[in-house]
Amino acid sequence: MSDLQVNFAGLKLHNPLIAAAGPITGNIDIVKKLYDAGIGAVVTKTSFIKREYERWVGRKNIFPYKPVYKYQGLADGRLLSLPSQSDVPMEEFAKRITEMKKLGVTVIASAIGLSVKGYRECVRMLEDAGADAIELNFCCPIPEFTSLYTHAGDAVSMNPKLYAKLIKVVKRTVSVPVGIKSTVNLLLYAKVFEGLLRAKIANSYPDFITLVGQLDQNPGIDINTLEPIIPHISTFGWQGSLSKLTYSAVSTFSSSLGTDNPHIAASGGINTVEEVVTAMALGSTAAQLHTVILDKGPGVVAKILEELKAYLDSHGYSSVNDIIGKTSRNYIPSLLIGRFMRERDSLLGTVYAGVDGERCNGCSICERVCTENAVIMQDKKAVIEWDKCRGCNLCVLKCPRGAIRLENYNKLEEMIEQFKFSAAATSFREFMKKEKIGLGDVIALPGKLKRWGLR
Ligand SMILES: Cc1cc2nc3c(=O)[nH]c(=O)nc-3n(C[C@H](O)[C@H](O)[C@H](O)COP(=O)(O)O)c2cc1C
Ligand code: SF4
Ligand code: SF4
């Protein structure tokens, strides 16, 4: 029987499934059901310290917070919205964490503040309550606070200096592992990398990062072979379900940083065992589930765990750790994607599809998928018009007979390998693995950021 245990940021979890912060983890009864269903850990709902909220926002008695849309239903009974803000303050969550710990649950406490002092106070309170780890909420948009919200939620991910400063403050305040939850989209991903880099320089690298994917999309993998559906690129406009945004964020980070420096948790659209396996093969050690639990109830966790075991057994993996990051090596480090796309164009006209007429059965799938109209069917065989072909590889991936290959594909492969192990990618990875950071690194930071494509 396969082993589901993982080491996530120093926490020994029974399995990689974590209940993500939200209404499901604000309620002790649901947390008990999640525990009974076998959840690996829960991240508590984010809230604010009452005193800090009153001090900064200047409103008394804000809690219990009652947004007008709270549990507002449509006339026919359909749910319109759940509250994104907590209706109880952090002080109350601290008590709930202590209760959760009595049940035996591994608790990662979500923390947020409105000031540096507030973060200190908040994480101290959460650690004292028994939290096993802290997840700093640098992901939620918090429009309520307008100018005040510079220190809370996704505003922090936009500000690499503050990002690093808050991690440093928190790491020095508590002794449990500290992670960040960041939204990653095309505007933010370089900033999040820069924030991590600055945290590294400040000798306060986080233990984990939970990525809420809003980057462009990664079309996923074939979970039988763990090979990518479309290899090498995990961005630029693939469409599909929300999980594909998360896959992109995970492969972007794992192909640049590796899988355990920091550990990665995937959040967003992870609803099935296939999605858990994909997120892990792309580089995450844990998968956070939220909407699927709201939709199907806590019992869904037990179902996914059974399916995960069955998947590992039937594919010959003795441990879930064997799949972590297996696919991420197929991706070019995201820092270099822009440069790669530009250089790849120089191969236009030299890399093109060729059909093996013996193997082709005339199914015409390649003709249907080619976006360049470069395939014509002649005498029930596919023929490529080379002057139209862009060498994109799509027909190769889709041909059920393996009858197409890219002529001169080695030129493209050489370029891909060059990019994977280019000086910029290698120096970035090595820097992130370095044990000690010196003053020289701090002084050289602006130049390094430029060289790594982060500025
Ligand atoms: C109603 C609601 C409330 C949420 N509250 C929080 C929160 O307090 N803190 C947080 O970090 N994420 C919060 N989230 C985000 C979830 O933890 C999760 O990252 C997101 O829903 C994507 O995952 P999913 O596709 O599994 O739902 C909330 C999401 C929803 C839908
Ligand atoms: S997809 Fe393959 S088998 Fe089908 S027509 Fe094209 S080359 Fe032939
Ligand atoms: S490689 Fe791309 S452009 Fe060329 S024939 Fe195949 S699908 Fe069309």
To 10 degrees, what angle do helices 116-129 and 50-57 make?
A: 170
Instruction: Decide: pTM greater than 0.85.
Output: yes
For 117, 124, 266, the CA distances from 166, given in Å and listed in that order, are 10, 14, 22
Q: How far apart are the first and last CA of the chain?
A: 48
- Domains annotated on the chain, with CATH: 6-330 (3.20.20.70)
In this structure, the residues whose C-beta lies within 6 A of any atom of ligand 1 are 20-23, 45-46, 82, 84, 110, 137, 139-140, 181, 212, 242, 267-270, 289-291
**pLDDT at residue 69 in the model:** 45
Compute the distance from residue 231 Cα to the ligand 2 centre, in Å.
20
Cα separation of 227 and 54, whole Å? 52
246 in Cβ contact with 235 (< 8 Å): no
Give the percent of the chain with pLDDT over 70. Answer: 88
Compute the distance from residue 368 Cα to the ligand 2 centre, in Å.
10
130 in Cβ contact with 38 (< 8 Å): no
Compute the distance from residue 396 Cα to the ligand 2 centre, in Å.
9
Q: Phi, psi at residue 33, to the nearest 5°?
A: -65, -40
The finding on whether 392 has its CB within 6 A of some atom of ligand 3 is yes
Q: What is the mean pLDDT of residues 291-320?
A: 94
The finding on whether 374 has its CB within 6 A of some atom of ligand 3 is yes
Q: What is the overall mean pLDDT for the chain?
A: 86
- Using the structure block, give the residue that is written with the tokens 């239903």: 73
- pLDDT per residue as tens digits for the range 113-135: 888 999 999 999 999 999 999 99
**pLDDT at residue 39 in the model:** 98
Residue, of 86 and 226, whose pLDDT is higher: 226
**pLDDT at residue 59 in the model:** 64
What tokens appear for 190 in the block?
A: 């370089």
